Structure 1
């Protein structure tokens, strides 16, 4: 009887040891470096998430990251101004990730427009207006004339394209100041996840915000909340 107990204990120890060894083999740290595709510049503060474990981390100043994971895990990489990338981990070693700039974002002196201060944003708008002008003063006939170089020049065309995005960012900020999370939560109960979806789905127009009274905004939020909860 005693011998049987010892034998069972021995096999249990072997089983437990094998399980622990298996865990140590499978568990590992995934390491990598995140770059920008076009410039190969290393990107800091990129949010890295393991979709299996929901663990998150961020890249350091040199673009390096380390996160717990296994082979066959899926990682997502999120950074403002860049398209979200998903990478399948199929081998060991340093993972090199290359992010592509979001086509809807522009960069002013290496700063994404969403991070510009309001005063800097206003300055860039005026500069884009100036660089994108297609008319110039005529020194021979007086008045204004269309400048072909400004109309078709690369810098001028880029300035006019950037101006649209800069004005859109400025308008969005005006809306967000009144359609803020704090203002919405004072009227209706929403979780953090619901809040992001609600603000994206029911963001009011600038024209409405500029003319609406506090009572109008409250009524708009309540009406939108009803539609949001009913799935309409």
Structure 2
């Protein structure tokens, strides 16, 4: 290969790598109060329709560029939205929800979510193929597996929301408003319990929990409703 062709080829590869690097945004998500890194924060690039979650160190990488709109959300924290203004590494600070009640409100207002339909590529990319090392060690595959794990947990939480809904619980206990939300935050059942207890058994659990709730002194209920996540 002639020297000028070799130089042109190398220049092309360099430009391609730079362009590709500019298509990805990197950063870290932390708690605004104590600077603790936050794992499993769901991040969506609304503009580019790309998603990811933070790793165990709170780090993330997502496809995007200047001007894109990013949304960060995780249970127990107030969602945050930001517009990308440059390609420097981002530090995103999330604030904890002020009470258990806010968490109940957020859960009750969430839209229907079907990750299998909305993000089928996550499930295909998360598979490990014996003859494909990149499916095991590749960055894209690892990110897909983190997202799949996140979606699995999210589906469980939404199954609880559906079974232990405000409408259903309020039909069984004489609580409304703040008091109802406090009760639901304190006695939210696990996914395993909901899976094995429905109908009469779930109703019995709610009634028994209400009896325990009523036995608590008023100040104890109030303190519970004001606790942060």
TM-score, structure 1 as length reference: 0.44
Computing the radius of gyration from Cα coordinates, the structure with the larger value is 1
TM-score, structure 2 as length reference: 0.44
Which structure carries more relative contact order (alpha carbon 8 Å, separation 6+)?
2
- Relative to total residues, which structure has the larger strand share, 1 or 2? 1
